[in-house]
Amino acid sequence: MTETFSLADGDALLVIDVQNDFCPGGALAVADGDAVVPLINRLGTAFPHVLLTQDWHTPDHSSFASSHAAKQPFETVPMPYGEQTLWPDHCVQGTPGAAFHRDLERTRAELVLRKGFRREIDSYSAFYENDRKTATGLTGYLRERGISRVFLAGLATDFCVHFSAVDAAREGFTAVLIEDACRAIDLAGSLAAAKQAMHDAGVIFATSARI
């Protein structure tokens, strides 16, 4: 992809889950996760709209391995809404791990959208919880604000960024993944699968140098 993007008022930077627990030293650390922060900060100065998401789990969230007897992190269990990966306890409401990375510039953020706060269901996407039915309200917010293109950055490429990008495209927005402003977990081939799913959904792949 060699397209260079000229930004306009209908463009938003959607920063996904740049929180302490997803950065080195955190409970669910993404390798090199904190490396996205300076790049996202630079990008944020160029966009007319900046939006942030924040994982915000209850202490006994159903997606935590600790909530299931004899289960370990990264195993899967069936849930009413489908197969669920079990995670280490992370981004628990009000804890330091749930806080944004200290160096993430948040002054220009117009919205902080919290997700995953319902105990019984996980929420990867900024648009829908994992049942694919329960909406977060972000679609309506973007439409009311006249935003038509959503540029995605943050953590992690193969989970929350991936599902947010696919849903943005399916909701009719132009979705652009800023690849170098993301980092992945890559759990058992999840990164390759996520890239294929994004490609199939019509997500555009770009780098920060093109913005």
Q: What amino acid positions are annotated as catalytic residues?
A: 17, 115, 160
* 11: three-class secondary structure by DSSP: strand
Rounded distance, CA 62 to CA 86, Å? 8
Which of 150, 142, 123, 145 is CA-nearest to residue 134?
123
Rounded distance, CA 52 to CA 187, Å? 24
203, exposed or middle or buried, with CB in 10 Å at 0-12, 13-18, 19+? buried
Rounded distance, CA 162 to CA 91, Å? 19
β-bridge partners, 155: 183
CA dihedral 191, 102, 150, 129 (to 10 degrees): 60
The b/e string for 159-172 (b: 16+ C-beta within 10 A; e otherwise) is: bbbbbbbbbbbbbe
